[in-house]
Chains A and B, each alone.
Chain A
Amino acid sequence: MTLAPERTSLSVQVRLGEDWLTICDLARLTPGRGVAALLPDGRQVALFLDRAGRLYGIDNRDPFGGAAVLSRGLTGTQEGRPFVSSPLLKQRFDLVSGQCLDDETVRLETYEVRAA
């Protein structure tokens, strides 16, 4: 397959201010699942890849339970919008806006992510 070498040569980057921080090879991400990344300032980002190859980044910490585990949640789409469901108490978060879909008052920080 010709796709494979192309995929591995790309890396996942997160935008921090003006700069893009390289996290890992794109091949480390499984479509439909997340990974956690550590930022230089100690924040944690949950990175996701969907079936169509789009990347998303949100804060890794579950605001309800307090543990940093959102990268381990199940993802899906609802009305075309991608979300992750927390593995702790199952609240869902929109991957684009960070909005909690089960509690209007909660919204997570989001990060710009790209494959380069």
Chain B
Amino acid sequence: MSTTAFVGDRPRPTIVLVGHGMVGQRFLEALAERGLTATHRVVVLGEEPRPAYDRVQLTSYFSGRTPEDLSVTDMEFIAAHGIELHMGDPVETIDRGARKVTARSGLTVGYDVLVLATGSYPFVPPVPRRDAEGCFVYRTIEDLLAIEEYAKSRATTGAVVGGGLLGLEAAGALKGLGLDTHIVEFAPRLMPVQVDEGGGAALLRTIEDMGLSVHTGVGTQEIVTGEDGSVTGMKLSDGSELATDMVVFSAGVRPRDQLARDAGLAVGERGGITVDEQCRTVSDPHVFAIGECALAADGRVYGLVAPGYEQAETAAATIAADEASFTGADLSTKLKLLGVDVASFGDAHGTTEDCLDVVYSDARSGLYKKLVIGRDGTLLGGILVGDAEAYGTLRAFTGSVPPIAPESLVLPAGSGGSAQLGPSALPDEAIICSCHNVSKGTIRAAVTDHSCTTVPEVKKCTKAGTGCGSCVKVLGQLVTAELEASGVEVDKGLCGCFAQTREELYEIVLALRINTYQDLLDRHGRDGARGGDGCEICKPTIASIIASLAPTIGASGYVLDGEQAALQDSNDHFLANLQKNGSYSVVPRIPGGEITPEGLIVIGEIARDFGLYTKITGAQRIDMLGARVEQLPLIWARLVDAGFESGHAYGKALRTVKSCVGQTWCRYGVQDSVRMAIELELRYRGLRSPHKLKSAVSGCARECAEAQSKDFGVIATSNGWNLYVGGNGGATPRHGDLLAQDLSDAELIRLIDRFLMFYMRTADRLERTSTWLERIPGGLDHVREVVVEDSLGIGEELESLMADHVTNYRDEWAATLDDPEKLARFVSFVNAPDTPDPVVGFVSERDQIKPDLPLLSIGTRPLEGSAQR
């Protein structure tokens, strides 16, 4: 059909959009992109009081996003395109004969094309008293405002009816508001639509571990109310009663098609306005329906935003007389609440004939991964619970035969079978970003044809990665691979300010004795960066290089001196670790893990006097958490007074040298491991390095101190010490490699001095010794040649650099307490130093404090690498 059919007698044909939700807004953008806003009058009538906002991220309101933050409507865009927006005025009738709509206010608008984007309404099961005070639904900003107010003023317990995607999200929000939270799900498992039985079991375990109570396989029979008519509980189908102060219904959504029904437009048996592949209603060529209110040509009503966007594009294209069709979409989802990893994609339940499942399940650790594979090896779909790391790649491979065996895709890393499946193996048609339907080919073209060279540029160019964000990782890998393939020299520079690697910068600093950051930036930075302010990547990196070489290059060894203060990572700046609510943790050094009863008492008294939470850490020392910024100097004054020093838990520096009791007490011990651990810890304390450094000393081969999982680990032998290097715990554990055997005390220390200095010189930013050892050319053999055999003849230089460090060490906290100017920064507010930050709050748990923040990690994902401290 051509556009002429829509051009009425009026000079400017009119497009009327009913409903301004996410899909409606996308439709307006698509109209503008096709130039239709110039040729048509566009009128929007919306029921909600505010223009379109990000419903998908609705829950992030509880983690601090304001309704304004959530808006997806750019008012400049609306104005620039002359779009007439009428908010808070729902359409009440459509007169198809006269082609006009009438809104509640009486406003009547004639149309040539009518587009319905009325979305869904939450389904509330017809149980008695479901309208009682304290009953809510979870759909709009207004719903959330009401829930928040009620929860804060009148409730301590909350129940969510429905354990699906939205139900869990709502439950996460209630939990975040501090309520004792229950989930009631009629099906025998949580998220019944997305996950199967095995996945449900893994998910259940994780959710319960988070302190939510789950009741599956029971229905809600009625709401129980108190004398004043407000909710006090609910009766369940198994005869039990659940006491609760409020109920949030999240039992699914239904298309809002009443307006269309009243106008005589065809709707499906189970609701939804029936449309064809062009999103035009089957009943009336002048009327379209898009988004959650539409029953698509494939017989489905889509409850996700990505298919709605596609429908919006299709409708706009059709109105512009372009070819477009919507024939169906993928139902992949990744849960974005509570920090639980849950993802399902493609044919997750294995409905395709003759398909096979490949399952890996470990219910104890809440892991469940299932892939559905076709007879010919095609990946059809899958479910990931507990670890959705591979989601981006797997989703993109769906519909094709992956180049490696499917088993190896679900087995955990390190179990022998696991293999990495890189995105380079993907076909061009593979969809990388399903929110915006962007294929690998399009992303490659962005690099090759549109000369994008960074992920942000590709995001802007293709829209990929700007929806739910779950594809950003794969996107980054693809962009790098494509740049490398097309011969573009991939920038190995540290950041946007420096074209050199960390190693090169280290050499420059050392050789030219450069001892200020500004000097380095202005002389050796990239052209555009010289004279500027640097960035959050290079500042701490350079600060660390300057600190590790301080005595040699003539810089101050104290990290908060002069310019250096401004460069340090936030934690180093306050000499403490920032916690989620803005308070800090305090970790004094306890060398080798050895501590006197008096020392323990002092720590206990300080923690008690300041009301801090105490915990034994995983590295044999004591953490005191919950200190306000202005309390740090007071706490440290007492610690320093009692002989404690900074433990550098905040720094990229030596953390601890753990020990076992060793020969002194243990019947198996062959050397004094505690003495050696203390000696090593005191020697390397305060040493700033590319990443944190950890060590341990065990008194015999039984290895109770776990030295082989450390950056440098020492194990006693009857003849001396064995030195292991490159061990790592953490996410990718690695056993250390034996560097040298049966060393004397002096030999041991000499080799460690050289090893550490060589690592500090050549490693990348945030590269642990384990990854460094695997990366550098020649690997362990090369390191052994340099460190043990001194093949480069730099052994002495490395040792003397370390000697400089050892002689110049000063405790940072003692130095800070001595300097009133430095202390001035430890205030809550520069203009109200006596007022504590009201956002820093605590509640009690198991007789101690814990942070009180009305938030969970909902809707927000840490940026890549942000966990690196």
Contact = CB atoms under 8 A, between A and B. Distances in A.
Nearest to B495: A76
Given A64-B63, A72-B574, A80 B532 contact: yes
B863 A67 contact: no
A66 B64 contact: yes
Contact of A72 (B69, B539, B573, B832): B573
A65 B63 contact: yes
Interface string A66-83: 111100111111111010
B840 A67 contact: yes
Interface residues of B, number: 57
A64 B528 CA distance: 30
Interface in A33-82: 33, 35-38, 42, 44, 47, 50-51, 61-69, 72-80, 82
B581 interface: yes
Interface stretch (B499-507, B564-572, B588-596, B662-670): B564-572
Contacts of A90: 536, 862-863, 865-866
A50 B824 CA distance: 19
A97 interface: no
B535 A78 contact: yes
Contact of A75 (B72, B533, B540, B832): B533
Interface centre among B466, B570, B824, B825 (most CB of A within 10 A): B570
Nearest to A82: B533
A89 interface: yes
A9 interface: no
A88 interface: yes
Contacts of B1: none
Interface in A90-116: 90-92, 102, 104-107
Interface in B25-69: 54, 57, 60, 63-66, 68-69
B contacts with A: majority SS: loop
Contacts of A68: 582, 837, 839-840
Nearest to A37: B831
Interface stretch (B339-347, B351-359, B361-369, B853-861): B853-861
A42 B565 CA distance: 29
Contacts of A37: 829-832
Interface in B519-542: 528-529, 532-536, 539-540
A7 to B, nearest CB: 14
A contacts with B: majority SS: loop
Contacts of B539: 32, 74, 76
A37 B833 CA distance: 9
Nearest to B853: A66
B839 A102 contact: no
B448 to A, nearest CB: 24
A103 to B, nearest CB: 8
A105 B536 contact: no
B822 to A, nearest CB: 11
B830 A47 contact: yes
A16 interface: no
A16 to B, nearest CB: 13
A64 B64 contact: yes
Contacts of A42: 838
B638 interface: no
A57 to B, nearest CB: 12
B860 A38 contact: no
A67 B580 contact: yes
A8 interface: no
B486 interface: no
Contacts of A62: 64
A62 B574 CA distance: 18
B63 A66 contact: yes
Contacts of A107: 68-69
B386 to A, nearest CB: 22
B427 to A, nearest CB: 30
A77 B532 contact: yes
Contacts of B862: 89-90
A70 B835 CA distance: 18
Nearest to B466: A104
B460 to A, nearest CB: 9
A50 B518 CA distance: 13
Nearest to B578: A87
Given A68-B839, A69-B582, A80-B532, A89 B866 contact: yes
Nearest to A62: B64
A106 B69 contact: yes
15 contacts: A23-B831, A30-B566, A35-B829, A37-B830, A63-B69, A64-B63, A64-B64, A65-B855, A66-B580, A68-B582, A68-B839, A74-B540, A77-B529, A80-B528, A89-B863
7 smallest CB-CB distances across A and B, nearest first, come from A76-B535, A32-B566, A87-B570, A67-B582, A74-B536, A85-B536, A35-B830
Given A67-B839, A68-B840, 8 more contacts: A31-B566, A61-B839, A64-B860, A65-B860, A67-B580, A87-B570, A105-B70, A105-B71
